[in-house]
Structure 1
Amino acid sequence: MRIAVLADIHGNVLALDAVLDDLERRGGADLVVNLGDCVSGPLWPRETFARLEALRLPTVRGNHDRRVAQDPADDAMWPSDRYAQERLTAAQREALFALPLTLEIAPGIVAFHARPDHDEKYLADAIVDGQLVLAPIAAIKRRLKSLDPACRIALCGHSHRSELIRIPGGPVVFNPGSVGCPAYDDDTPPAHVSEQGSPHARYGIVELGAPGRPDRFEAIAVDYDHEAAAKQAEQAGRPEWAHALRTGFMKD
């Protein structure tokens, strides 16, 4: 079985289309799973929702999917979430909120956005000097304790960092990186940034091995018209997003 793994599209329909085209050139997949944070961002939330709705992918809820569905009167809403919320219908927002926290997409293979029991806390990362770094293995194991012991592959997103971690006595954790948002800053204490280091759209492929054979994991970076995405962010008044889309880094 061949599984394509998408995460953190963030309204970047250009990056999503580039990933889907690349996947088709590689022979496609038996299953494509979406790990959430579908539309939040100053780009194309309505168009991205429509594209995903037509694809009908197994999808889990990300923290920004939940936030986009919040009451519009919430003045604390983050700008990217508000931008998306204002461009979606009430029914579309409700559909995002109704997405499940976790999905078992195949026997022993579980998909979730951040952690299996929380859509916003990091699984494999710690914050050191304002940057995301790999967390200690003991911490990652504790964060996975709600998983069924039969889980052998855990698919997650949220950090926008491509990671492959084999947990001793536990599952393999695979984060494909972000389809549509190569860098971000988060001022929630402790404030930090995540940076992929290039503007490429990221996704992953998992090939399940036959009995007695190992599974294979591939993290893929796809070039696309990131300049058009950056200009869209600029038109929306978000120069920091434009810089991230062009470079994969946040400005100092």
Structure 2
Amino acid sequence: MRVAVLADIHGNVLALDAVLRDLDRRGGADITVNLGDSVSGPLWPRETMERLEGLALPTVRGNHDRRVAVDPVNDDMWPSDRYARERLTQAQRAALFAQPLTLEIAPGVLAFHARPDHDEEYLADAVVDGQLVRAPIADIRRRLGNPGHRIVLCGHSHRGELISLPGGPVIFNPGSVGCPAYDDDTPPAHVSEQGSPHARYGIVKLAGEAGNRDRFEAVAVDYDHEAAARQAERAGRPEWAHALRTGFMPR
């Protein structure tokens, strides 16, 4: 069985379409799972939501999906969430909130956005000198608990990771489809940077017959990131535009 793994689209329908075309070129997948944070961002939230509605992918709820759906619109609302909320219908916001926190998408394979028990806390990351880096294995194990699965699929950090914990499970984060870098001023303030503007996704080939092994592929796809950057500029978000063009936050 082939599983395509999408995460953190953030309203970038151009990147999403490029990923879907690339996946089709590679022979498609038996299941394509969306790990959440689908629409928040100064790009094309309504168009992205409509595309995803047509695909009807198994999807888990991300922290920004929750915020777009239920946070009150006021000065404290994060700008990307406000931008998306104002462009979605009430029914679309309700659909975002109704998405589950976790999904078992195949026997032994668990999908969630950030952690199994929380949509906004990092699983495999720590903040060091203002940057996200891989957390110590003991911390990852404690945060994960014992999910009872051989593979867990997660997003949230926008950092591609493949970590085989001693005794299992394997943790796979494909990186972000549509947002290659971000800053977060939640203490401790930090940035996450993929280091290039490519749209990222993953493919997992699950072991079938006895003796076969699970296989993981991280994919980076070129697309018209300049058009996405110009859209961010039109929305008044120059830092997003810089991130979309470079994969880094402005210095």
Looking at structure 2, the residues matched to 46 and 244 of structure 1 have their Cα atoms a distance apart, in angstroms, of 21
C-alpha deviations, 1:140-199, integer Å up to 9, x for none? 01111151x2x0000000000000000111210000000000000000000000000000
Hey, what does 2:69 align to over in structure 1? 69
Looking at structure 2, the residues matched to 118 and 170 of structure 1 have their Cα atoms a distance apart, in angstroms, of 20
Looking at structure 1, the residues matched to 53 and 41 of structure 2 have their Cα atoms a distance apart, in angstroms, of 18
Preserved contact between residue 62 and residue 113 of structure 1 (Cα < 8 Å): yes
**Equivalent position SS for 1:96:** helix
**Equivalent position SS for 1:5:** strand
Q: What displacement does 1:93 show? A: 0.5
Preserved contact between residue 184 and residue 250 of structure 1 (Cα < 8 Å): yes
Hey, what does 2:219 align to over in structure 1? 220
Tell me which amino acid in the other structure corresponds to 1:213: N
Alignment RMSD (CA, Å): 0.8
Hey, what does 2:81 align to over in structure 1? 81
Hey, what does 2:155 align to over in structure 1? 157
Tell me which amino acid in the other structure corresponds to 1:245: L
Preserved contact between residue 66 and residue 97 of structure 1 (Cα < 8 Å): yes
Tell me which amino acid in the other structure corresponds to 1:30: D
Looking at structure 2, the residues matched to 99 and 76 of structure 1 have their Cα atoms a distance apart, in angstroms, of 24
Hey, what does 2:234 align to over in structure 1? 235
Preserved contact between residue 208 and residue 214 of structure 1 (Cα < 8 Å): yes
The runs of 4+ residues in structure 1 deviating greater than 4 Å are: none
Looking at structure 2, the residues matched to 181 and 236 of structure 1 have their Cα atoms a distance apart, in angstroms, of 15
Looking at structure 2, the residues matched to 70 and 146 of structure 1 have their Cα atoms a distance apart, in angstroms, of 30
Flag structure 1 segments of 5+ consecutive residues without an equivalent: none
Number of residue pairs aligned between Structure 1 and Structure 2: 250
Counterpart pick for 1:207 among 205, 227, 251? 205
**Equivalent position SS for 1:69:** helix
Hey, what does 1:188 align to over in structure 2? 186
Hey, what does 1:137 align to over in structure 2? 137
Hey, what does 1:173 align to over in structure 2? 171
Preserved contact between residue 157 and residue 192 of structure 2 (Cα < 8 Å): yes
Preserved contact between residue 71 and residue 77 of structure 2 (Cα < 8 Å): no
TM-score normalised according to structure 2 size? 0.98
Q: Percent identity?
A: 82
Hey, what does 1:103 align to over in structure 2? 103
Hey, what does 2:247 align to over in structure 1? 248
